[in-house]
A and B are shown apart, each in its own frame.
Chain A
Amino acid sequence: DQQVKQNSPSLSVQEGRISILNCDYTNSMFDYFLWYKKYPAEGPTFLISISSIKDKNEDGRFTVFLNKSAKHLSLHIVPSQPGDSAVYFCAASAQYTGNQFYFGTGTSLTVIP
């Protein structure tokens, strides 16, 4: 029962262009959403988050958009850099679950120099 889905296992983008990573969820109780970046042989590293009371959160080159009615969030990276090449996981949680995170299956981003 996959409550958080990332339907694109991989994405390739030219350096300097925009990367858009998508994530869909099914549980309407989720109220907090995060993006993590993972390099090989390392644990996931927090990137950016958004609460359900907002529809956009921006941090430098990274912007997360939340569409609650569509149960969809996306991560925009602009401009993309080769160092952004990693696997990106979206995660969702709800306060009633003790902030247990439900992760998607990840999207592997390759930024081509």
Chain B
Amino acid sequence: DTGVSQNPRHKITKRGQNVTFRCDPISEHNRLYWYRQTLGQGPEFLTYFQNEAQLEKSRLLSDRFSAERPKGSFSTLEIQRTEQGDSAMYLCASSFLPDNEQFFGPGTRLTVL
């Protein structure tokens, strides 16, 4: 297993379009996290799954954002009607209970024009 992977690595879109990102966690990890990172800031928590159940969502996650992890393996994060303020690096991380360490993917950099 080569670690957490994310696709695409870069996405440029026009305002108002929908985008979807994919995260493939480390295979035996049962927890999956999404974070967003903007310039000069640390990663900010968006949501997390334990297996296929979405257990928590940040208030940062507006109604335009939705995340799924249908079979408890890979996850998708969709942003509808993108806005320029959505431009950021979207990071995915996974961990194995009961361990606390989260392993991060390389991120998807979104630019909304």
A and B pair up:
yes
Could you list which residues of chain A lie within 8 angstroms of chain B, going by C-beta atoms? 4, 6, 9, 32, 34, 36, 41-46, 49, 89, 91, 93, 97-106
Select the residue from B42, B55, B104 with max chain A CB neighbours within 10 A: B42
- Name the contact of A34 in the complex, choosing from B35, B44, B101, B106 (C-beta under 8 A): B101
Q: How far is the CA of A102 from the CA of B35 in the complex (A)?
A: 10
B104 near A44 with CB under 8 A, answer yes
B21 interface residue, CB < 8 Å from A? no
- Determine if B48 and A98 form an interchain contact, defined as CB atoms under 8 angstroms apart: yes
A46 touches B106 (CB 8 A): no
Q: Are B43 and A103 in contact (CB under 8 A)?
A: yes
Which of A93, A99, A105 is the one whose CB lies under 8 Å from B42? Answer: A105
B40 at the interface (CB under 8 A from A): yes
Cβ–Cβ contact B42 & A100, under 8 A = no
A102–B43 CA distance with the chains assembled, in angstroms: 8
Set B42, B50, B95, B106: member contacting A103, Cβ < 8 A: B42
Indicate whether A99 sits within 8 Å of B103 (C-beta atoms), given known contacts A43-B4, A89-B42: no
Chain B residues close to A by CB (< 8 Å): 4, 31, 33, 35, 40-45, 48, 50, 55-56, 91, 93, 95, 100-107
A80 CB to nearest chain B CB (Å): 22
Cβ contact within 8 Å between A99 and B100: yes
Contact call A46/B43, Cβ cutoff below 8 A? no
- Inter-chain contact A100/B103, CB cutoff 8 Å: no
The answer to whether A32 touches B55, judged by C-beta atoms less than 8 angstroms apart, is no
How far apart are the CA atoms of A68 and B8 in the complex, in Å? 41
Of the residues B31, B41, B48, B91, contact of A44 by C-beta under 8 Å: B91
